[in-house]
Every structure is written in C-alpha cells, then in structure tokens.
Structure 1
Amino acid sequence: MEPQQIKEGYLVKKGSLLSSWRAVWVLLSEDAVELYKRKSDGAPKALIPLKGASITSPCQDFAKRTMVFKISTEKKQDHFFQASHGGEREAWVKDIRRIISCLQGGKKFARKSTRRSIRLPTTVNLNELYTLIRDQEDGVKELRLEKENRVYNHCFTGGTVVDWLISKERARNRVEGLMLATGLMNEGFLQPAGELSKTATTAGTESVFLDEANAFYFFADSGFSCEGYSSDEDDILKEEFRGNILKQGCLLKQGHRRKNWKVRKFTLRDDPAFIHYYDPTKGDDEPLGSIHLRGCVVTAVEFGPDAKRSGVDRDLFEIITSDETHYFLQAASGEEKSEWIQAIQTAAKNGK
C-alpha cells in the first residue's frame, strides 16, 4: 500500500551543499518527507526518510531565522526547514515527531486528541521561572535586533520566549507558552520594545504578549537600549503594521511584470487592513510590498494570466484593490483558499 499523505504545504529549506535557502513544496507521508520544486510536480526531487530520525525544535543555529526546525536522519544527515510563523512550525513538528514515534514503535500514524491540551499547573512560580529564563547559559539569548530604522540591544522576540518554554517542557504547546509569557509580562519581568509589542499591551485583548517573530521584548533588569531615528514617513509606514494579525502563511504569487510565480510569505492585518508579503527565503522582516485592502474585492477564480502555462491551475484567488490593481494568488489547498478569502473579506470590510 502507498504511504498515507498526512500533511503538505510550503516550507523554506536550507540547501545541503550551499548555504542558500529555497522555498519548496513539502509532502509529509507516514514514513518520509518528500520535497518538490513546485506543487504541480509529479515526482519529488528528494526524499528524507523518517525511520530512526530525530527532530529538534526550536533550532537556534541561525540568529536571524527564528522559525527553524531540524530533522536529523538515521545516517546523521541534518535538514533545516523554516516555517512562516510559530503555529505553522509547531504543526509540522508535532506531526513529524508523531511519525518518528510511530515508526519506532511499529504503530499506525494517528494524531493525538487535543481536547485537553491546555493544562497549566494551578500554581506557577513566576519568580523561579524568570530566574531560569534569564540564565545566561541556558535561558533566552539576548540579541541585537534591527527593525524600522532602529537597533534594539539586549532584546529577543516573543516567539523565542514561547519556543524556550516549550523546549524546556514548561509548556506543552504554544497556547500554554503564551499564557506563561503573559504572566511574566503582567508581573513586569518582561518589557515590550518597539511599537508592535507596546501597542499590544494597551490593545485591550486577552493576551498582552505576542507570540511573533517581529514583536520585541527585553528583561526588566537587562542593559536594554534602542538606537535609531524616526521621521514622519516612518510613522506613516508604521501605521500599516499596527493592526492585529488575522492570518499568515505562504502562498504562490504572480509577479506584475514578468508574470512568473514565486512563493511569498503573507501577513494579513485588520486595522488598518493590509497584507504585507515577504521573500520567505530571506532572514529579515522587510516586506517586498503591501496591499491596502480597504474597498478591495477578493474572489476565487478558475485561472489567472499565464497560470496554466506555469502549471498553476488550482486553488487560485484574486484580489482587486480600490485602485484596480489585480493580484493573483494560489493557496496550498481548496480549504486554505477559502480561509484566506474569508479572512481578507473580513479585514476589507471592517478595517480602515
């Protein structure tokens, strides 16, 4: 019998020989990770066997890449993958880890129930937890981070904090990790750095802490400092990033000039309503472009210009902005296409 297909989607993979990172279509089966250059390819260009393998997450071998996990095969070959956000990485790691366990025990793959997955201890010693997370050798590493013409010294990201809590078995998943990080934030152990994380503390939402790679924080008793400048143009640009993130992930996007299709990471925000898109192979947070969604029309389409010639003929949708700019995108599946359309429609209707 053919191995069952468990999961598929876009990830960014580090080259085995070169240090370059490339977006690839990944298909996860019951015993291997299959790599395709394109979603439409009929045969994989590489296969990673999972029997006897191990997985490391988070993998902190690359300073500017915070969503990386590592698969080490039985033959001691390391393969590095980068997801577009923490939730996506956790989903891949959880399934791969389960497959490895099933192969080792000779069992059939089946996802464990998550109905009782949120279960924190009734009493949590935040002072003790802060001492551990602050440890210079085994705690969260303080870095020099750059964003929007500013340099943040002795800083780290919200996603890194949640990664650490999970890796040290203080939390079993990102929801539990976020609850603990919020507790540390409320008690003043962690402080926000930058507009995004500061805005979250006053937004009135349930969590004042953001599990994101572009939300910066620092230890209350650290040597934190911020360098840089801000102009009126910077303030206008920052306004685009103030909204809450509704959805994020990788999609195939058609270029406006060459009409070629490339994988891009998309982040959808609600107020103001913007989609920013990035090159997922890069290790920075600088967007390639943005789409203002106020007054836009988004709909599923059967085809796009030159799409079939490029092997792109399914799960397509189109965004038409208020200034009549057309964007053609392909989702990983029909379900994901519907989710993106619904989320964009909601943002366009409610956001400014």
Structure 2
Amino acid sequence: MEEDQKNPILKEGFLVKRGHVVHNWKARWFVLYPDQLLYYKYDGGKRDSCQRGRIMLTGCKISCPYLEYDNRPLVFKLQTKSSAEYFLEACSREERDQWAADIGAAVEKLRPADSPTPSQSKTTGYLSLQLHSFSLNQVVDSMYDVHSGIKLTSHNEQGSSYSNCFSGSAVVDWLVFNQLALTRVEAVTLSSAVLEEGYLRPVGLRSVEAQRSHGLSEQFLDDSTALYSFSENFKKRGSVKAETSLSAMELSGKVLKRGYLLKQVRKTLPISPNYLLKQPKLSGYLHYYDPSKDDISPVGGFSLRGCLVSALDDNGVPSGVKGKVQGNLLKIITQFDTHYYIQAPSRQERMDWIEAIRGQS
C-alpha cells in the first residue's frame, strides 16, 4: 500500500515481532497508517512488496511497558478488538515508548466521540490507568518480591562493573507495568520517595551525583545508565546475575547510538542484528545482537579503533557485496583488515552511523 493523502504513513521502521504459532522472534519492517499497522519481511536490502500481516487499530489496546518476558524489557503489546495479541520489541526504551505513543495517538483518533476511554489499559500516559493507593511499604515489598519483583542484573558503566542492581528506567517501567503509577512522571516521584526513605541506594556515578546535587523530586533518574540497588538490609534471594563472556571494559561506557542494521561480513549474511555503538574510556566498539534472542548478550562485535568507514555507491551492487543487497550501504575496514558491509534503513541513518563511527575511530 503506497502513501497517499487519505492514508499517509505516520511512522515506519524495524521492530522485532513474536510469531503467532511458533513463538520465535523475527525482525520485521512496520509501517503505521492512521487506521492500521502493516508489517513486511525485509530481505536482500529491500522490503517485500507483499505485506506479511495487518493489525487494525480500531479498538486496539496497548500495554507499554510489557514486562512478562525475562531478558526482553523493550516489548510492548497490542491487543486488537478481536482479542488477537501482538508482541513487539523495539531497540531502545525511547523507540519503544515513541512507537507506543504514536500507535496510541492513532487509536485515540479512531475512537468514537461518545466512546468512554478505557480505565484499565496499561500505557505510558496516552491512555488512562486506574490508579490504586498503595503504602510505601507495600510498594517496596512488591519491588523486592523474588518472583514478580524487579530483576537484578549486572551492569557496566564507565569502566566499572556492578552486580545485583537495576537501572532507573527499569524501575519506572516496572512501576507503570504493575499499575503502581499512572505515568512515568508519577513513577519517578514514587521512586524518589522510595530512595529518600533508604529502601534503595544509588550505584555508580550518575545516580550518586543526582542524589547529591538535585532536589528531592529530581533525585531519581528515569535513565538506563543510572543504576540503583536495594539497600544492604535487603538480601534478595533467588536472583540470577547477568553473565557475559566479554570484558567489562569492552561492554562498559555510554551507548552512543543503537538501531537495526543488516550486516554482511566476508561472505555471510546473518539476520537483521541490533547494533550498539559504545564508548569505553580508551576506544569504541560496535556490538551486534540477534533480534530473535535477548538484547543482553551480544553475538559479536569489533573495535572501532583505527578503522576506516565510508558510504558505498547506491547505483548497483558494490564490489565485495554478495547477492543483490544494495542501497544505503556503508563499509567498515578494521585495523585487522576485516571488511564489514552494513546496510542502514535510510540514507540519513547511514550518514548518522558513519558520523558516529568516525567519532570513535
């Protein structure tokens, strides 16, 4: 379906979708229209001309965040008027929330003027929640619950490794998902109160500095790089620490850019990976992830130190590229002379990636 004035494209891009029959996860290209969300297979550098599925938005309900999947904190759920459920995963919390907000806005415009607004939908603010009254002790007990509470993981920030902790955005996600807060703003206020009472403690430079220098309402950060843990008097049992085979230095640092790209190295072409560009203290790395699995353990990566990156000609298939992959391609040559051919979803994204990579090489 092509874009026209009556049915313009509102948003498009990669999301990872869970299969209906076989519950595997595959990257698909999604296109949002005012009344429907279409998705396509993206292969050989091109979107399929025939759509793989259609989600009608009239009467659709959105759950964002949706935290039922361990190791997949970036999922949101769509439930159609006919009760069909779709589970979609973005590459970042910002992307997830933006997709949910844009879809939610489209759903609201389709709602009849005299139709009541749902009061039980779990969303991030564009649909209403029924807010319940909980004491702070109840909130903390729920957060601390071994089975349904906040999951403890390991994090690497600015060259240091921290275990048995969680990010500020993970806390906010959890509070909204469990309907302990109506919006992310309310969740931050509630988290700040929990922090102020000493149930949580900041971990790492970002969260420690925020507690030291900000006012009460701004001490807790809704940020994936601001880390927290339960106070020492809490001994949460049954938690599984996140493990990785990569060094703490390699995985540490601020994430500078992330998104979906297609990678071809030498003569192999894996499925569409999720790339992360990170900046440790000494050098940069580009890590990539299998979208059919979790986004915690990368399946590969390489150092950007001393690499060369350039855009490839969009006319035809460039030399060195296998198959008919063409358009929006960039090439990275590492200091060990490994050649990576990478395809971005748009020309602008290609230039953004090239600029980010050159800044680390």
- Give your verdict on TM over 0.5: yes
Equivalent positions of 1:321-340 (< 5 A) are: 321-340=334-353
SS of 1:340's partner is helix
Q: Which residue of 1 aligns with 2:131?
A: none
Q: Distance in 1 between matches of 2:251 and 2:236?
A: 23
How far residue 162 of structure 1 moved from its aligned partner, in angstroms, is 2.3
Q: Which residue of 1 aligns with 2:30?
A: 26
Q: Distance in 1 between matches of 2:137 and 2:318?
A: 55
SS of 2:30's partner is strand
| TM-score w.r.t. length of structure 2 | 0.73
Q: Which residue of 1 aligns with 2:301?
A: 290
Question: Which of residues 53, 75, 79 in structure 1 aligns to 2:82?
Answer: 75
CA contact (8 A) 1:318 1:328 kept: yes
Equivalent positions of 1:1-352 (< 5 A) are: 3-38=7-42, 39-105=46-112, 131=137, 133-136=139-142, 141-142=148-149, 145=152, 156-167=166-177, 168=179, 170=181, 172=183, 188-191=198-201, 198=204, 200-201=206-207, 211-212=223-224, 217-220=228-231, 221-224=233-236, 237-258=247-268, 260-272=269-281, 273-283=284-294, 285-302=296-313, 303-304=317-318, 307=321, 309-310=323-324, 312-348=325-361
How far residue 282 of structure 1 moved from its aligned partner, in angstroms, is 0.6
How far residue 75 of structure 1 moved from its aligned partner, in angstroms, is 0.6
Aligned AA (2:140): R
Aligned-pair identity in percent equals 31
Q: Distance in 1 between matches of 2:293 and 2:350?
A: 25
Aligned AA (2:201): Q
Aligned AA (2:262): L
Of residues 129-138 and 4-13 in structure 1, the stretch that sits farther from structure 2 once superposed is 129-138
* Structure 1: unaligned runs, 5 residues or longer: 107-127
Alignment deviations for residues 181-235 of structure 1 (CA, whole Å, 9 cap, x no partner):
578657754235xxxx6354578999985733x98643224214788899xx97x
Distance change >3 Å, CA 49–CA 227, structure 1 → 2 = closer
CA contact (8 A) 1:298 1:345 kept: yes
Distance change >3 Å, CA 90–CA 79, structure 1 → 2 = same
CA contact (8 A) 1:269 1:275 kept: yes
Q: Distance in 2 between matches of 1:227 and 1:166?
A: 23
Alignment deviations for residues 253-308 of structure 1 (CA, whole Å, 9 cap, x no partner):
114342x2521111111234111111122125111112211222222212545758
Q: Distance in 1 between matches of 2:189 and 2:348?
A: 29
Q: Distance in 2 between matches of 1:288 and 1:138?
A: 31
SS of 1:240's partner is helix
Q: Distance in 1 between matches of 2:338 and 2:250?
A: 18
How far residue 88 of structure 1 moved from its aligned partner, in angstroms, is 0.9
| TM-score w.r.t. length of structure 1 | 0.74
Aligned AA (2:254): N
Q: Which residue of 2 aligns with 1:124?
A: none
CA contact (8 A) 2:64 2:75 kept: yes
Q: Distance in 1 between matches of 2:220 and 2:360?
A: 21
Of residues 132-141 and 159-168 in structure 1, the stretch that sits farther from structure 2 once superposed is 132-141
Kindly tell me the number of residue pairs found equivalent between the two proteins. Answer: 314
* Structure 2: unaligned runs, 5 residues or longer: 114-133, 156-160
SS of 2:251's partner is coil
